[in-house]
Structure 1
Amino acid sequence: MIKRVCLLILILFLIPLATHAAWWHERGWPRSWSDADWTSARILPESTAEPEAVVHVLAARVGRWRGIVAHHSWIVLKHAGATRYQRYDVVGWGNPVRTNHREADARWFGNEPSILFSMRGPDAQALIPRIEAAIAAYPHAAFGSYAAWPGPNSNTFVSYLATRVPQLAGALLPTALGKDFRADGWFNGSLFAGFAPSRSGLQLSLLGALGVTVAWIEGIEINFLGLVAGLDIRRPALKLPGWGRIGLSPA
């Protein structure tokens, strides 16, 4: 039995992670924060070009070797008639929750972002007050509360928003390390058993580092030390540590 478990861990987690680590190392990365490109990737239209309300969830690989395993996620909002996007992320220095500390679609440590979720028009306008209320209620907003592993981090933040606004749940990547860190669990938050963020299935999570999720939106996910392997049936894709989704985009 132990040999089978070890073999499963090797196949599902260690081999994909090792191959992605080799590819990421060959790709290279900026030597320091100041050497990295943090400018707009120009993947969102100019805010003044869209008079309607919009909601976007974006993600980009994190910096240096950590990009082997994880993305950084954030959310962008714009009320109908507004002339500027509002970007919200959680960062690892100072007060965690930040507003507009980068351009809405800026690269993260030189890495190009992807748009994981978009909604426009009246439907987006209806979501924005709920999202803003969830941002204000984020339970890990105190100075020093950030933890890169297993959370709470930037992906915990977007996952928390999705628990309050389930329409966002499809945008969570398997490489969103920290997304399974749930503040509303038992035993001082260390163990969570209940609905997945989308409320389309169930999730069991121990400190965000071990667990399983079975849901229509999130798919089937096994979390081992924050690494996620699984399968998305709704939008067919494999989920592999390091590589993330191999198949259709999440939303």
Structure 2
Amino acid sequence: ATTSEAVVQIYAADAWGWRGWFAVHSWIAVKPPNAPNYTVYEVVGFRVKRGLPALTISEQVHPDRYWYGAKPELIYNQQGKKAAELIPKIEDAVNRYPWKNNYRVFPGPNSNTFPAWIIKEVDGLNASLPLKAIGSGYAE
């Protein structure tokens, strides 16, 4: 709410429980110019067990919220004109994501496969995920 500029951010937080020792969960947040909230895109594995799509799209005020008690790290931040140009490309890539209904911890597709695939598909989104982003290589 404090900025009227477009924003594109990617976050990673330690995975839930003991998994956080060696893995992270990552997600993408975008906010078009003058938008009141962020749109957060992420893949959540337990949703598949409930018969729901793994890919979630939600409106959030705080895209940097904790992930099961783990503080997120901002790993990519773009604001302004370039962010505004990236947002429709990201939305298009999200719509084309091939594993919307699939989740497998290893080797993927999982919560890190999703942003890795979006990064690969969106020209100009020059981000990289941390080494602990297990499953990010599944997108290659």
Distance 2:28 2:127 in 1: 13
Instruction: Report whether the alignment pairs 1:156 with 2:109.
Output: no
Distance 1:167 1:180 in 2: 19
Contact residue 58 and residue 117 of structure 1 kept, 8 A: yes
Q: Which residue of the partner structure matches residue 38 of structure 2?
A: 85
Q: Which residue of the partner structure matches residue 129 of structure 2?
A: 172
SS at match of 1:162: helix
Distance 1:166 1:92 in 2: 27
Larger RCO (alpha carbons 8 Å, 6+ apart): 2
Q: Which residue of the partner structure matches residue 62 of structure 1?
A: 15
Q: Which residue of the partner structure matches residue 100 of structure 1?
A: 58
How far is 1:101 from its partner?
Answer: 7.5
Distance 1:159 1:58 in 2: 12
| Paired letter, 1:133 | D
Q: Which residue of the partner structure matches residue 120 of structure 1?
A: 79
SS at match of 1:107: coil
Q: Which residue of the partner structure matches residue 35 of structure 1?
A: none
Deviations 1:25-84, CA, capped at 9 Å, x for gaps:
xxxxxxxxxxxxxxxxxxxxxxx1100100000010001111111010000000011111
Gaps of 5+ in 1: 1-47, 183-191, 193-251
Q: Percent identity?
A: 37
1:71 maps to which of 16, 20, 24: 24
Contact residue 155 and residue 178 of structure 1 kept, 8 A: yes
Considering only CA atoms, is the larger Rg found in Structure 1 or Structure 2? 1
Distance 1:123 1:101 in 2: 21
Contact residue 92 and residue 147 of structure 1 kept, 8 A: yes
Deviations 1:154-186, CA, capped at 9 Å, x for gaps:
10000000111144353311110000003xxxx
TM-score in terms of structure 2 length: 0.90
How far is 1:106 from its partner?
Answer: 1.0
Gaps of 5+ in 2: 48-52
Distance 1:116 1:164 in 2: 18
Distance 1:134 1:106 in 2: 24
How far is 1:148 from its partner?
Answer: 0.9
Distance 2:82 2:126 in 1: 16
For residues 43-58 of structure 1, the aligned pairs below 5 Å read: 48-58=1-11
TM-score in terms of structure 1 length: 0.51
Distance 1:74 1:147 in 2: 16
Contact residue 117 and residue 168 of structure 1 kept, 8 A: no
| Paired letter, 1:128 | I
Deviations 1:117-156, CA, capped at 9 Å, x for gaps:
10111110000000000001100012xx100111000100
Q: Which residue of the partner structure matches residue 50 of structure 2?
A: none
Please, what is the CA RMSD of the aligned residues?
1.5
SS at match of 1:171: coil
User: Where has structure 1 moved over 2 Å in runs of 4 or more?
Assistant: 100-103, 166-171
